[in-house]
């Protein structure tokens, strides 16, 4: 008897992960490949097509029952990736392309929604109906479950928590608006904070180190753990702003938990402790200390493919 698997694909700005997942949530095989977002999307699709075809030819016990895709700006309703940031693809009808290639059901959602679906199907949120997955990386994304249902909104673009403003006169965000949560609480946000702090402390060694290149979470975490004052200040400031955003969402949606996922979520309690304090100070209805802030327990890079695959497996 064939072993049914779904192909889960998580397309990221830098790397793409794909994997074969069975209905127990066991990842039978997975691999990370570069996205190459500056060239045609067909290059990525060709590479995935070859790898998947070869795998299924070499492993005849598996039967592919469908494909779930998570991608930046992936629209569940239209099946299109619409002008993804950091990828030069414009709008891509990715569901149709995959259906033509693989002749099987293909479903699309955005990357943060895929992570939320992964937590619901196989992670910390299995027993939760109301939770928000916050993806912390270069940017800040979110996938929202309420009443046991993933929220898509009218146009498929619900969950833009990175672009709720915590200060309408605040920092200019890449999106053109001011005070977006992402411009404070993400790798990009920390880069902004380092830039601002350097004006005040031009000779600080940690700030000079951090300003040189891409924000290195490892360097910052290590400095924090050694008690470096500037690292403490950076995480305190970032956590406070993150907590503002959490309070906004919590007052609207009353979730049981926020679950943090993505590279920058490895900061863990270094950022969640000040975020919790700031969130609690801005809640109403006596819900202080009731909303859990949790770090995802799914392996880094796997929530997305698990969640994307769950779109197929849950049918």
Residue ranges binding its own copies (CB under 8 A) = 128-130, 142, 144, 146-147, 149, 151-161, 163-168, 175, 177, 244, 247-249, 251-256, 281-282, 284-285, 287, 290
Shortest CB 156 distance to its own copies, Å: 7
Q: How many CA atoms lie within 13 A of 64 on its CB side?
A: 24
Shortest CB 253 distance to its own copies, Å: 5
Shortest CB 258 distance to its own copies, Å: 12
Nearer to its own copies, 217 or 243 (CB): 243
Cβ contact 298:119 at 8 Å? yes
Question: How many Å apart are CA 123 and CA 117, to the nearest integer?
Answer: 9
Shortest CB 301 distance to its own copies, Å: 26
Nearer to its own copies, 19 or 70 (CB): 70
Nearer to its own copies, 55 or 152 (CB): 152
Nearer to its own copies, 29 or 157 (CB): 157
Cβ contact 263:136 at 8 Å? yes
* Other Cβ atoms within 10 Å of 12 Cβ, number: 23
Nearer to its own copies, 32 or 167 (CB): 167
Distance from the first to the final alpha carbon of the chain: 20
* Other Cβ atoms within 10 Å of 198 Cβ, number: 15
Shortest CB 315 distance to its own copies, Å: 17
Among candidate residues 151, 62, 65, the one with its CA nearest the CA of residue 110: 151
Shortest CB 278 distance to its own copies, Å: 9
Nearer to its own copies, 5 or 150 (CB): 150
Element (H, E) at 54: helix 41-58
Cβ contact 212:258 at 8 Å? no
Angle (nearest 5°) at CA 107 between 103 and 113? 155
Nearer to its own copies, 163 or 236 (CB): 163
Q: How many CA atoms lie within 13 A of 262 on its CB side?
A: 26
Cβ contact 186:137 at 8 Å? yes
172 - beta bridge partners?
A: 178
Question: How many Å apart are CA 207 and CA 49, to the nearest integer?
Answer: 44
Nearer to its own copies, 165 or 204 (CB): 165
Among candidate residues 40, 32, 42, the one with its CA nearest the CA of residue 11: 32
């Amino acid at each position: 008897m064939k072993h049914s698997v779904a192909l889960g694909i998580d397309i990221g700005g830098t790397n793409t992960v794909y994997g074969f997942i069975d209905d127990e949530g066991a990842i039978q095989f997975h691999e990370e490949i570069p996205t190459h977002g500056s060239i045609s999307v067909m290059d990525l699709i060709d590479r995935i097509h070859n790898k998947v075809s070869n795998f299924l030819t070499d492993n005849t016990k598996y039967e592919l029952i469908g494909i779930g895709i998570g991608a930046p700006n992936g629209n569940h309703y239209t099946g299109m990736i619409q002008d993804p940031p950091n990828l030069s693809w414009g709008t891509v009808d990715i569901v149709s392309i995959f259906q033509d290639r693989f002749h099987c059901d293909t479903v699309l959602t955005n990357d943060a929604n895929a992570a939320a679906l992964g937590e619901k199907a196989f992670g910390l949120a299995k027993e939760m109906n109301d939770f928000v997955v916050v993806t912390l990386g270069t940017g800040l994304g979110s996938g929202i479950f309420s009443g046991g249902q993933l929220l898509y909104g009218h146009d498929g673009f619900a969950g833009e928590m990175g672009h709720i403003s915590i200060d309408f006169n605040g920092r200019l965000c890449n999106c053109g608006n001011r005070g977006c949560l992402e411009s404070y609480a993400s790798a990009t946000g920390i880069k902004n904070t380092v830039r601002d702090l350097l004006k005040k402390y031009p000779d600080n060694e940690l700030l000079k180190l951090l300003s040189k290149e891409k924000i290195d979470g490892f360097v910052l975490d290590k400095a924090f753990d050694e008690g470096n004052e500037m690292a403490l200040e950076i995480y305190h400031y970032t956590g406070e702003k993150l907590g503002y955003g959490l309070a906004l969402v919590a007052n609207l949606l009353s979730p049981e938990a926020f679950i943090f996922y993505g590279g920058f979520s490895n900061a863990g309690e270094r950022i969640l402790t000040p975020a919790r304090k700031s969130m609690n100070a801005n809640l109403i209805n006596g819900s202080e200390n009731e909303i859990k802030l949790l770090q995802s327990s799914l392996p880094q890079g796997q929530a997305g493919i698990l969640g994307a695959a769950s779109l197929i497996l849950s049918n």
